[in-house]
Chain A
Amino acid sequence: MRFPYKELPGASKDYLRPAVPVAVEGISRAPQLCLLDTGALHNRFAGWVAHAAGIDLTDADEERFVVGGFVAAARRASVQLTLGEVTWEAPVWFCDPWPLAFHLLGQEGFFRWFNVRLRAAIYEIEITPEA
């Protein structure tokens, strides 16, 4: 699968981010823009996604961490995600508050499952599922 980098507008300059649309079970009409974050250990999504998708976070594991200068509470659930024609089950940490324009795909819930090539020179992302 190939995806272009995302062009996001900025005040003084635009931002070019390696981000891809991932469908979450329950809200497949609106695939969520996710940054390929090789530095992230986990998939981290905004908390509203769990609520909209009907994902029960009662009794979920919880942790606190800092993102974008905010202390966020994160709760974990196993979620069915789809990228292109590939569907996989992965843990996602749903976070409140969530200050970013997009969600994050990390090592445990994404890079473990995919071979990813970032071609920044031509603003292109190549992704293939690991065998």
Chain B
Amino acid sequence: MLQMALHRGSVLGAGFVGATGKCYTVSMSQVQAKIAQQEFALDAEEIARQLRDVMPDPLGDHYVVVAGKRYPPKQVISLVTGLDRADFNTHQARRILSRLGFTVGRRSRESPLASPDRPGPHRGREADLLRPFAGRWVAQRGLEVLVAADTPEAVLGWLERHNQQADAMFRVPGDQTTATGVAPA
């Protein structure tokens, strides 16, 4: 059960949702939410800080982007509230995070478009999917990036913890040397 209430002294803004009065935004970066009969004051900057060193769990269909990383919405809400993930659903988590100003999305609705003008077996689609991870280690299944991290050990640890099998692991090139082996002049 989730409700979001108006924070005392705050201004009701564009965050109002529906006529039932259940969902309000306190400010552009704060909401007060009632989840599983408990009240929580959630702050976007604080959430980003708490997630700074947290690797995303395997994604389902839904995700939220925090500091450039995609997380399952329920992972984020569970982490910042301490609640069990069974205490709320994905749509509730998405709604709160969206109100906090985070980008939320569905993976099944997105697909970088292959271009017939570009070379390659996937017409540039794979390169485009990898581009945001330049310089980082990734584990890939199909064309999708399962996990990205700054060290190969972190990627391996994530695969082990989440019992995931990758198709390939490598470092996404961040420069010409990494991609080709050609030494800088």
Instruction: Give A contacts to B, CB under 8 Å.
Output: 4-11, 14-17, 19, 21, 27, 29-33, 46, 48-49, 52, 67-70, 99-102, 122-124
B117 at the interface (CB under 8 A from A): no
Q: Knowing A30-B139, A30-B156, A68-B182 touch, does A10 contact B176 (C-beta < 8 A)? A: yes
Query: Which residues from chain A contact B172 at a C-beta distance below 8 Å?
Result: 8-9, 101
Query: Which residues from chain B contact A15 at a C-beta distance below 8 Å?
Result: 173, 179-180
Q: Knowing A29-B159, A32-B169 touch, does A68 contact B181 (C-beta < 8 A)? A: yes
Q: How far is A124 from B119 in the complex, measured between Cα atoms in Å? A: 12
Contact B159 A30 (CB under 8 A): yes
Which residue of A14, A48, A123 is within 8 Å of B152 (Cβ)? A48
Q: Knowing A14-B127, A68-B181 touch, does A33 contact B169 (C-beta < 8 A)? A: yes
Q: Which of the listed residues B165, B170, B172, B181 has the most CB atoms from chain A within 10 Å of its own CB? A: B170
Chain A nearest Cβ from B129, distance in angstroms: 9
Q: How far is A5 from B38 in the complex, measured between Cα atoms in Å? A: 52
Tell me the chain B residues, 136-177 only, with Cβ under 8 Å from chain A: 139, 152-153, 155-156, 159-160, 164-173, 175-177
Query: Which residues from chain A contact B183 at a C-beta distance below 8 Å?
Result: 68-70
Tell me the chain B residues, 100-140 only, with Cβ under 8 Å from chain A: 118-122, 124-128, 130-131, 134, 139
Contact B121 A123 (CB under 8 A): yes
Instruction: Give B contacts to A, CB under 8 Å.
Output: 118-122, 124-128, 130-131, 134, 139, 152-153, 155-156, 159-160, 164-173, 175-184
Contact A29 B130 (CB under 8 A): no
A7-B124, A14-B127, A15-B180 given. 8 additional CB < 8 A pairs?
A9-B130, A9-B134, A10-B127, A19-B170, A30-B159, A99-B177, A100-B171, A123-B119
Q: How far is A48 from B153 in the complex, measured between Cα atoms in Å? A: 8
Contact B173 A10 (CB under 8 A): yes
Query: Which residues from chain A contact B184 at a C-beta distance below 8 Å?
Result: 69
A-B pairs, 5 with minimum CB distance: A69-B183, A4-B121, A33-B170, A7-B126, A30-B169
Query: Which residues from chain A contact B134 at a C-beta distance below 8 Å?
Result: 9
Query: Which residues from chain A contact B125 at a C-beta distance below 8 Å?
Result: 7
Chain B nearest Cβ from A9, distance in angstroms: 4
Chain B residue nearest to A10 in the complex (CB): B179
Which residue of B121, B153, B169, B182 is within 8 Å of A7 (Cβ)? B121
Query: Which residues from chain B contact A123 at a C-beta distance below 8 Å?
Result: 119-121
Contact A52 B156 (CB under 8 A): yes
Contact B169 A67 (CB under 8 A): no
